[in-house]
Chains A and B, each alone.
Chain A
């Protein structure tokens, strides 16, 4: 039987290690992340106003206006190559680039169709080519090369250094080298002199631009760097896994909860412990503790159906609330959730203060309020801190209240008061909501485990703090 006892202990020890280990293990999938980058590059007529969004000249007087000749060039195998209009303009309106060879300067061979969109791990670079020329019908003196990022693609957040470079000017055109840093100039245009391809053969010799993606870091650091950013939106074409809005959401909700529950809980626990008669205390304390056992999903629904509409009614116009599901409502219900925990632990701490403290204070002629605020509260300080920390630990991990009441949009607070009337989102509820429709063992899944790991680290930190504080208290006494 003693063996069984030891075995149970070992099992628990193993599960402790296992918990941390597997949270870390599963978050490795986050580091399989690929980083997309996408640009539209287009050649446009030099004189018309730039097209917005960047697209090809719709009249097609520029570039392969001799459509018939250019069509089907891909299939020809005699080495004549030129992009078709569809290839250059893209049927969907996106410019077409061409993924190519190692050495673009001496590039010969067949062009491959490709988008200027790629998903690469942060450590891999790539070059995409863009060919531009005019047909004899084109009368203007310049060709405009315009570029802009894809919707939702932010070159500043890319772990690649993205450059648009002129690889080769056509024969007979002298041009200063062009090299555009796309992270500082994500949108722009340049003009180059018109160069006309008079025959199919010449098309291959037009302007050749390259979009070069140079790796700046390896995938691990890039993923980690992208994790500590300010935008969380995994559904975008270029997904964003920035932890900060979620972390701030969780912390702010916790803070509002504590701001409500700590004063209220402290007052109530002092009243229960020092003012109320033992009989009243015996009845009221279990009643308050009853609230601690109400399932949080029920508290969430209570908030949704009664507190949220009331919030809109009271603060709706002052805080410019669009719905009752926001930071403030979630924070208030969080306060309700941790109130009984704080009362219960703080009351225990106050009750455990020895009576001589109270008698001594009375003997010094202190009033009740002086006795409490000058003797009992300082003496019970560690217990009160423990109560607050327990409330804190409970609140940062709370899932359902935040899920139901926060409104579910991950937004960075702007530092204004009206932020507390805006929808938000926390870490635990994000895990709960998104794990339901995620592909297992893929980067998104890994990032949710990373979130879990962060939450777990917070829990450990709070507990260690509590431990340290408790130990210091032992030394003092």
Chain B
């Protein structure tokens, strides 16, 4: 009995130890979480706090003046919008169709598997690689020069794999019974896809597109090599000339501003950072809203 009692005491003690170490573990987890959240809020908050004083209507609507030390950043905002618009024109055509092919036509053979692996590799390829490719093909080989068009093509190329993968996922998340039911009613496969499957997948597809567009706007490296211009004070003319000229835009402006070193005053830099960040965050916020609405409406 005595021995048993001793064991009991040991067990109790061990239990206590385990409980205590479990509590310690939870505290550590909480500290990790607090640091992570602190980093996120710290960074976004700092940029907000430092950037907001620089922002006013004039800052957003005027061209830089007095060698960057005054005026606004409108030409850069305009350029970023232009780049995004072109990318959104080119990307969906290929990206969504490719995604449909992956989800519904490719099957699971060896070749489609290889293609799928390639596409996910492309989706994870660093943006500077796309910049190099755009430079070699669009700028030099096709002789488009450093231009808006070259930038569109490069950014589209970068976005297409991402859009393909998200489209595939969106379509696959629609229950196969939708397609089977429609086909059993006598529709062809394409008709069934278009009428029964795609409408349910649209929110997912749009989310993917928007996320890709947000990435395209924020990435500096591809633009650096294919379409960038430090700053511009020109009025925008909407003709073919614009397409073949480089375009000022927010990320390139910041990158080049760093390269020139100390030309842009700190206040304007914070303002530009904030503008670019909000630009991308608002786009992503759109994606988040679309996604949560889709979740609310989901019928399966």
Contact = CB atoms under 8 A, between A and B. Distances in A.
Contacts of B117: 463-464, 467
A436 B259 CA distance: 11
A112 interface: no
A419 to B, nearest CB: 24
B44 interface: yes
A220 B98 CA distance: 39
Contact of A284 (B37, B47, B94): B37
B207 interface: no
Given A8-B98, A267-B29, A295 B36 contact: no
B151 to A, nearest CB: 15
A399 B127 contact: yes
B22 A301 contact: no
A276 B161 CA distance: 34
B36 A299 contact: no
Nearest to B126: A397
Contacts of A318: none
Contact of A397 (B129, B194, B215): B129
B115 A290 contact: no
B258 interface: yes
Interface string B71-101: 0000000000000000000000111011011
Nearest to A291: B40
B101 A428 contact: no
B233 interface: no
Contacts of A368: 22, 25-26
Contact of A459 (B126, B136, B254): B126
Interface stretch (B56-64, B174-182, B218-226, B234-242): B218-226
Interface string B111-126: 0000101111110111
Contacts of A297: 218, 220, 251, 254-255, 273, 276
Which of A291, A300, A369, A396 has most B Cβ within 10 Å? A369
Interface in B177-227: 189-190, 194, 214-215, 217-221, 224-225
B277 interface: yes
B9 interface: no
A66 to B, nearest CB: 56
Contacts of B269: 301, 305
A13 B118 contact: yes
A295 B128 contact: no
B288 interface: yes
A267 B128 contact: no
Contacts of B293: none
Given A390-B124, A448-B132, A428 B221 contact: yes
B121 A295 contact: no
Which of B18, B40, B125, B218 has most A Cβ within 10 Å? B40
Interface in A1-54: 1-2, 4-9, 11-13, 15-16, 18-19, 22-23, 25-26
A265 B36 contact: yes
Interface in A254-292: 263-268, 270-272, 274-276, 284, 286-288, 290-291
A399 B259 CA distance: 14
Contact of B94 (A11, A272, A367): A11
A397 B127 contact: yes
Contacts of A122: none
Given A339-B36, A435-B135, A298 B129 contact: no
Interface in B132-172: 132-133, 135-137, 140, 157, 160-161, 164
B129 A456 contact: yes
A404 B25 contact: no
A463 B120 contact: yes
B131 interface: yes
Interface residues of B, number: 85
Contacts of B160: 12, 15
B108 interface: no
A363 B55 CA distance: 58
A300 B220 CA distance: 12
A336 interface: yes
B21 interface: yes
B173 interface: no
A440 B106 CA distance: 40
Contacts of A267: 28-29, 31-33, 36
B221 A370 contact: no
Contacts of A298: 47, 218, 254, 273, 276-277
A428 B128 contact: yes
Contacts of B157: 15
Contact of B40 (A13, A26, A288): A288
B39 interface: yes
Interface in B2-48: 18-19, 21-22, 24-26, 28-33, 35-37, 39-41, 43-44, 46-47
30 contacts: A5-B100, A6-B101, A9-B102, A9-B115, A12-B119, A264-B32, A266-B32, A267-B32, A268-B29, A268-B37, A284-B33, A293-B214, A293-B281, A294-B44, A296-B219, A298-B273, A301-B273, A302-B43, A302-B46, A302-B47, A302-B273, A305-B266, A343-B36, A390-B124, A397-B127, A400-B251, A403-B258, A432-B131, A433-B259, A464-B117
Interface of B: 18-19, 21-22, 24-26, 28-33, 35-37, 39-41, 43-44, 46-47, 93-95, 97-98, 100-102, 105-106, 115, 117-122, 124-133, 135-137, 140, 157, 160-161, 164, 189-190, 194, 214-215, 217-221, 224-225, 251, 254-255, 258-259, 266, 269-270, 273, 276-277, 280-281, 284, 288
Of all A-B residue pairs in the complex, the 6 with the closest CB atoms, nearest first, are: A397-B126, A267-B32, A295-B218, A8-B97, A369-B25, A367-B22
Given A340-B40, A390-B124, 17 more contacts: A5-B100, A8-B98, A9-B101, A9-B106, A16-B119, A295-B251, A369-B24, A370-B18, A372-B25, A373-B25, A397-B125, A397-B127, A397-B129, A399-B221, A441-B140, A463-B117, A463-B124
